[in-house]
C-alpha cells in the first residue's frame, strides 16, 4: 500500500561533526612527586652555588683578585659572576632545542653533570697569591661551564614539572621548583654563615671558602641518580608517538620568529622575576656589608630568615595561583615592587635589626608572587614541540641581560652616583616592564598546556 505524503520518510540530513576532544592524560601522583623532587634538586644545586658565591663574594674577591681597593675586588668578583650569564643564552640555544629533540629527561641529566663539575672545580682553583693571574682566569672558566649548563636547567626543569603536573595543580607543583631554589640558597648561605662564625678570617681565606664548592660533587651524584630514574614526560611522549620516531628537528629560527610574541612576554616576565630575585638574594648581603657597613653575620642571618619565610609561604602561594590565576598574583608582585621598593630600601638603610628585617621581609613576600607563579606561567607560553627550546632562549637572554648583571650594574651605579637608593629604582623599573608583560599575557591556570592534551588527576573511588 503506497505511503501517503503525511507519512513519507524525510531525507536524513547529516549533522556536521564536531572534533572529538583530545584524550586526557591521567597523571600518576607518585610519578609527579618524583619528577618534582628531581627537578627541584637540580635547581637547589644551581642556587646553592649562587648563594655561596654571593654570600662569600667579599672573601672570593680577596682570594682571586689582586689586593688593593675592596670595591674593585667586589666588582671583579661580581664581574666573574655576571660573565657566566653571558653564555647562558648559548647553553639555552644548545640544550633547549636538544630537549625538544631527544627528550627533557636526558638533557636534564646532562646539565646536572655539568653544573656539578663546574662548581666542584671552583673549590680546587689555587688562589691569586699562588698562581697569579691564572686564578681569576680559571675562576672565569669554571663559571662559564656553570653558565653554559644552567642555560638548559631552569627551562628544562620547569617544563618537566609543567608537563607532568595535572592542569588544576600546575601552580602548586611548579612552586616546589622555586622551593628548591630557596633550599639551595639557605643551604649555601647557612653554610657560609656557619663558617664565618666558626672560622677565623685567615682560615676562611686560606681553605675554608673551598668547602661549599666541593660539596657540589656529592650533590651532583645524588641529583643525577634521581633524574636518571625518571621517565619522559607524558606530553613529550605523546609527541614522539605522533611522529612514530624521534622528533624532527625544529629550526632554531622557528623557535624564535615563530614564537616572537610569546618570547617577548617571556623576557618581560623573566626580567622582573630575576632582577628582584637577584637583587634580594644575591646582591643584598653584599649591599648590607660593603655599602651600608652592616655587621656581616647579622646581615646573613636576616637574609636567611627572609628566605625561610618565603619557603613557608611558597607552596600556599603556588596553590593560590591555581585558584585565582597566575596573572593576578604576578600583577600584585609588580604593583608591590613599584609602590614599596623605596620604603623597603629606606627601612634597610635605617640600619637597626628590626628595620632591616622588615624591609627585607616585605621584599621577600613580594618576590614570592613571582617565585610561586612563574614556573607554571612560563612553560604555558609555548606549544609542546618548541617549549623547551623557546623557553630556554627567552629565559636565558633575559636573565643574561638583566638578572645576572643586577649585582654588577647596581654596584657600579652606586659607585658612579653615590646614590644608595639605586636598588629601589632598579626594582621599580623592572616592575613597570613586568606589569606590561602581565597585561598582555593570557591566563593559563587550570587549562591544558598549548599543544598538549588535558592532564587530570586519577578519580578517587
Query: Per residue, what are the HEC states of 418-452?
Result: CCCCHHHHHHHHHHHHHHHHHHHCCCCCCCCCCCC
Residue 170 lies in a domain: yes
pLDDT of the residue at 175: 94
Residue 260 lies in a domain: yes
pLDDT of the residue at 296: 64
Contacts of 242 (CB under 8 A, 6+ apart): none
Residue 456 lies in a domain: no
Residue 444 exposed, middle or buried by CB count within 10 Å (0-12, 13-18, 19+): buried
Question: Per the structure, how many domains does the chain have?
Answer: 1
Residue 22 lies in a domain: no
Mean pLDDT of each 10-residue bin along the chain, 461 residues long: 44 44 72 86 80 76 74 69 79 89 87 87 86 84 86 89 92 93 85 84 86 84 81 81 61 75 94 92 77 70 87 96 96 97 92 87 96 95 90 90 83 87 94 96 91 76 52
Q: Tell me how long the chain is.
A: 461
pLDDT of the residue at 173: 94
Task: Map the chain to HEC letters.
Answer: CCCCHHHCCCCCCCCCCCCCCCCCEECCHHHHHHHHHHHHHHHHHHHHHHHHHHHCHHHHHHHHCCCCCHHHHHHHHHHHHHHHHHCHHHHHHHHHHHHHHHCHHHHHHHHHHHHHHHHHHHCCCCCHHHHCCHHHHHHHHHHHHHHHHHCCHHHHHHHHHHHHCCHHHHHHHHHHHHHHHHHHHHHHHHHHHHHHHHCCHHHHHHHHCHHHHHCHHHHHHHHHHHHHCCCCCHHHHHHHHHHCCCCCCCCHHHHHHCCHHHHHHHHHHHHHHHHHHHHHHHHHHHHHHHHCCCCHHHHHHHHHHHHHHHHHHHHHHHHHHHHHCHHHHHHHHHHHHHHHHHHHHHHHHHCCHHHHHHHHHHHHHHHHHHHHHHHHHCHHHCCHHHHHHHHHHHHHHHHHHHHCCHHHHHHHHHHHHCCCCHHHHHHHHHHHHHHHHHHHCCCCCCCCCCCCCCEECCCCC
Residue 458 lies in a domain: no
Picking from 52, 76, 57, 78, the residue whose alpha carbon sits closest to that of residue 65 is 76
Residue 2 lies in a domain: no
pLDDT of the residue at 73: 66
Residue 351, Cβ neighbours under 10 Å: how many?
13
- CATH number of the domain bearing residue 70: 1.20.1250.20
Residue 423 lies in a domain: yes
Tell me which residue range forms the domain holding 284. Answer: 28-445
Residue 459 lies in a domain: no
pTM (two decimals): 0.84
Amino acid at each position: 500500500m503506497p505511503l501517503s505524503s503525511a507519512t513519507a520518510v524525510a531525507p536524513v540530513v547529516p549533522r556536521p561533526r564536531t572534533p572529538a576532544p583530545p584524550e586526557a592524560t591521567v597523571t600518576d601522583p607518585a610519578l609527579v612527586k618524583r619528577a618534582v623532587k628531581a627537578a627541584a634538586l637540580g635547581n637547589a644545586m644551581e642556587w646553592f652555588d649562587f648563594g655561596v658565591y654571593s654570600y662569600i663574594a667579599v672573601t672570593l674577591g680577596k682570594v682571586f683578585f689582586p689586593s688593593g681597593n675592596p670595591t674593585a675586588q667586589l666588582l671583579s668578583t661580581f664581574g666573574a659572576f655576571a660573565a657566566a650569564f653571558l653564555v647562558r643564552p648559548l647553553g639555552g640555544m644548545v640544550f633547549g632545542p636538544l630537549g625538544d629533540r631527544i627528550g627533557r629527561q636526558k638533557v636534564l641529566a646532562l646539565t646536572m653533570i655539568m653544573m656539578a663539575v663546574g662548581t666542584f672545580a671552583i673549590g680546587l682553583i689555587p688562589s691569586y697569591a699562588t698562581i697569579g693571574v691564572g686564578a681569576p682566569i680559571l675562576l672565569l672558566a669554571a663559571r662559564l661551564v656553570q653558565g653554559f649548563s644552567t642555560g638548559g636547567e631552569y627551562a628544562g626543569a620547569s617544563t618537566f614539572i609543567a608537563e607532568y603536573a595535572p592542569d588544576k595543580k600546575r601552580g602548586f607543583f611548579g612552586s616546589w621548583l622555586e622551593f628548591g631554589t630557596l633550599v639551595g640558597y639557605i643551604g649555601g648561605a647557612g653554610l657560609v654563615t656557619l663558617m664565618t662564625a666558626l672560622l677565623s678570617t685567615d682560615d676562611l681565606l686560606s681553605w675554608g671558602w673551598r668547602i661549599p664548592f666541593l660539596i657540589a660533587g656529592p650533590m651532583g651524584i645524588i641529583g643525577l641518580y634521581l633524574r636518571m630514574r625518571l621517565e619522559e614526560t607524558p606530553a613529550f611522549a605523546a609527541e614522539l608517538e605522533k611522529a612514530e620516531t624521534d622528533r624532527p628537528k625544529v629550526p632554531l629560527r622557528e623557535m624564535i620568529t615563530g614564537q616572537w610574541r610569546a618570547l617577548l612576554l617571556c623576557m618581560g616576565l623573566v626580567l622582573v622575576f630575576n632582577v628582584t630575585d637577584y637583587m634580594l638574594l644575591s646582591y643584598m648581603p653584599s649591599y648590607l656589608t660593603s655599602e651600608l657597613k652592616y655587621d656581616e653575620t647579622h646581615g646573613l642571618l636576616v637574609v636567611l630568615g627572609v628566605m625561610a619565610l618565603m619557603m613557608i609561604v611558597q607552596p600556599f602561594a603556588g596553590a593560590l595561583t591555581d585558584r585565582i590565576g597566575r596573572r593576578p598574583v604576578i600583577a600584585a608582585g609588580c604593583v608591590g615592587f613599584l609602590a614599596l621598593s623605596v620604603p623597603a630600601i629606606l627601612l634597610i638603610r635605617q640600619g637597626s635589626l628590626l628595620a632591616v628585617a622588615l624591609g627585607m621581609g616585605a621584599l621577600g613576600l613580594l618576590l614570592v608572587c613571582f617565585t610561586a607563579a612563574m614556573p607554571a606561567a612560563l612553560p604555558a607560553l609555548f606549544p609542546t614541540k618548541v617549549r623547551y627550546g623557546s623557553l630556554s632562549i627567552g629565559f636565558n637572554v633575559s636573565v643574561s641581560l638583566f638578572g645576572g648583571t643586577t649585582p654588577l650594574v647596581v654596584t657600579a651605579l652606586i659607585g658612579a652616583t653615590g646614590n644608595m637608593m639605586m636598588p629601589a629604582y632598579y626594582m621599580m623599573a623592572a616592575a613597570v616592564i613586568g606589569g606590561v608583560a602581565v597585561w598582555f599575557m593570557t591566563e593559563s591556570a587550570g587549562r591544558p598546556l598549548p599543544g598538549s592534551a588535558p592532564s587530570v588527576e586519577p578519580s578517587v573511588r
